[in-house]
Amino acid sequence: MPDAPKTSALTRPDGWDIVRRNRPAMISLVFLVAMVLLAFTVPFFLPAALKTTSNGAFLPPLSTGVDAPVTHLCGTDKNGQDLFYRLLTGAQVSLGVGIVGAGISLIIGTLYGMISGFIGGRVDALMMRVVDLIYAVPRILFIMIFIAAFDGVFKDWLDGLRLSAQQSGWSSIETAARYLMPYSKIVVMILSLGLVEWLTMARIIRGQVLVLRELTFVTAARAMGQSPWQILKKHLLPNLSTIILTYLTLTIPAVILDESFLSFLGLGIEDPAASWGSLLKDGAQVINPIESKWWLLAFPAVLMSLSLLALNFLGDGLRDAFDPKSGD
């Protein structure tokens, strides 16, 4: 009896195999992993002299410090702070904002899109009109209004929490509240970004659910008496996981860009904390035709550009591998 015909050559290759063969995506992944490891580990091992202000303002790269015999790899800023240290701590803020903000938008967008697509009918039409209405509001304007409205409220709440913890002897809560004070705008910004970046995710998830809900395994689950929530959780969500991961990597750079733009305008993180956007703002302020402090603008711009480029290459690679609409 002849052997059964092999079908492996006719089937689409595994998505992760496609990603591994995508050289730009893999290089981007290695770069991003290295960036995260450097940003969240190296600052803890740097000398204390690099973490404080000094009398050596505007030292060029590879200069020796004025107050201490340390080498400033990327030079210093107007306050004599080491730029390399600030780049790494800025990466913590920018990448953290991007990941957390994209995570919030992922949760909201996924739930909204799944509910809208699964229910369908008039509910789906109404929910999509709400999305269209929010799309009509300028994103940056909404974020600026949100920050202006809630930053003071959040700061007052943190200050009250700090005082209450101090009176009660809760040192850990007092320390946490004091640490969050310079980051109050960032926390409010993360919430505002999460509230506007979910719209595209909701549309994508809704479109996939409209297709998946008509397949036989969903019909069988309904016939077995499973509730809509069980179907969404056990059957639809696992089938959406790769799509969600793909568009998460494309949402992160959008959130980072928004944060950097707002910090560049002075609406983001406050000194002494830093992000890539605030570092670009500081660098742009000292650029002049007479004496250019080029390193203050060049290093943050290059680091931010490479990170955003890597995130987009990785997102494109994942989309090519897992998005059914991207073709074979």
Report yes or no: 10 and 316 within 8 Å, Cβ to Cβ. Answer: no
% of the chain at pLDDT higher than 90: 15
User: Tell me: the pLDDT tens digits for 80-103?
Assistant: 888 999 999 999 988 888 888 888
Name the residue with higher pLDDT: 267 or 143. 143
| Amino acid identity, position 191 | L
pTM exceeding 0.85: no
Instruction: Write out 190-234 in H/E/C secondary structure.
Output: HHHHHHHCHHHHHHHHHHHHHHHCCCHHHHHHHHCCCCHHHHHHH
Q: Of the given ranges (1-15, 56-70, 168-182), which has the lowest mean pLDDT?
A: 1-15
- The answer on pLDDT for 126 being more than 90 is yes
> Which strand (E) or helix (H) includes residue 64?
strand 63-64
pLDDT at 37: 93
Q: Summarize the confidence of residues 300-319 as an average pLDDT.
A: 88
How far is residue 106's CA from residue 187's CA, in Å, rounded to a whole number? Answer: 17
CA 141, distance to chain mean position in Å, is 19
Cβ-based neighbour number of residue 206 at 10 Å? 23
The pLDDT value recorded for residue 9 is 40
Tokens of 108: 């909201």
pLDDT for 33 equals 92
Q: Are 236 and 219 in contact (CB under 8 A)?
A: no
Query: Could you give the CA distance from residue 80 to residue 41 in angstroms, rounded to a whole number?
Result: 23
Q: Is the pLDDT of residue 241 over 50?
A: yes
* pLDDT tens per residue across span 23-81: 888 999 999 999 999 999 998 888 888 888 888 888 888 888 777 788 888 888 888 88
- Which position has the higher pLDDT, 16 or 278? 278
